[in-house]
Structure 1
């Protein structure tokens, strides 16, 4: 197990990769700003609205996934090799997200293969954090004493099941709308926790 300095490097590296991935999202929009054109922002937005939509959607996805990563790692004082590799898979999904984002923008959001790839990428990210929660719960020595919380494992399980359902639905005409099912995570978790009391 690695502690303190090695752990800090892992978290800092992860944050840097997330920042780079978020920056990559905006590059296609930067290309739209041609100094030789006199189009107003409204005209550019009207013509390239799907690119702006894809950017905002993916930025929100990266932000929510970073919050999930932060939730898992904020109370840790170390990590295991398994947790490092799960973190690597999570980072891979985050840094890959700009690619399906660009595909969605190019296909105006209506290509089923692009939507499916997009949802699959998010699924890898969500499931990775669920596996990270499981690893942390099985290695209490890397967790701060006052922060043990088994509810997050249940929350991760619910999110993982819902994203797999969204992945299946993404093959249909609903496409990206399948991601709306993730909004059920908190209500389901609340319902399950009330029944467990």
Structure 2
């Protein structure tokens, strides 16, 4: 696995170009996000993430998108849109109805997709270059989410090491109408989420 440790602006620029080339050729890239290190693929190559992680095939893959392009992959109603506006870029994954074109390897046949816009500068720049990506934590299924490159336990074609990150996986919520179910607790609290939704109801 090739490892890049970009530190200067020029290093970052070169790492972005190389990561883009790997992804567009069907490869896997491990990238830092503000929450954990993630393993990423283009959506049409998402099957490779299951193989790398030994992930159960009935477990959908989250999708990360550039800011403003989330509606390309999911159906965002008023409540979901309000949460996206309030917390993105940031550590909130919003589960919504998937667009019909998404590969089954992403949705695992559920008809739903978890969407997030990450706040890490490298991840955001890469998404702006290549568009939406399947991204999930870079550990073997059931293992600990890595907060540094040293803790990564899966193989990929390229690893971008930019030092330690927060290490707390995102909050995951499912939105149906104005009802929101918290599927995984994380950095954004249920109270913060309900505050946004309360403003919609008032």
TM over 0.5, shorter chain: no
More helix by share: 1
Q: Which has the higher contact order (CA 8 A, sep 6+)?
A: 2
Larger Rg: 1
Using structure 2 for the length normalisation, give the TM-score.
Answer: 0.28
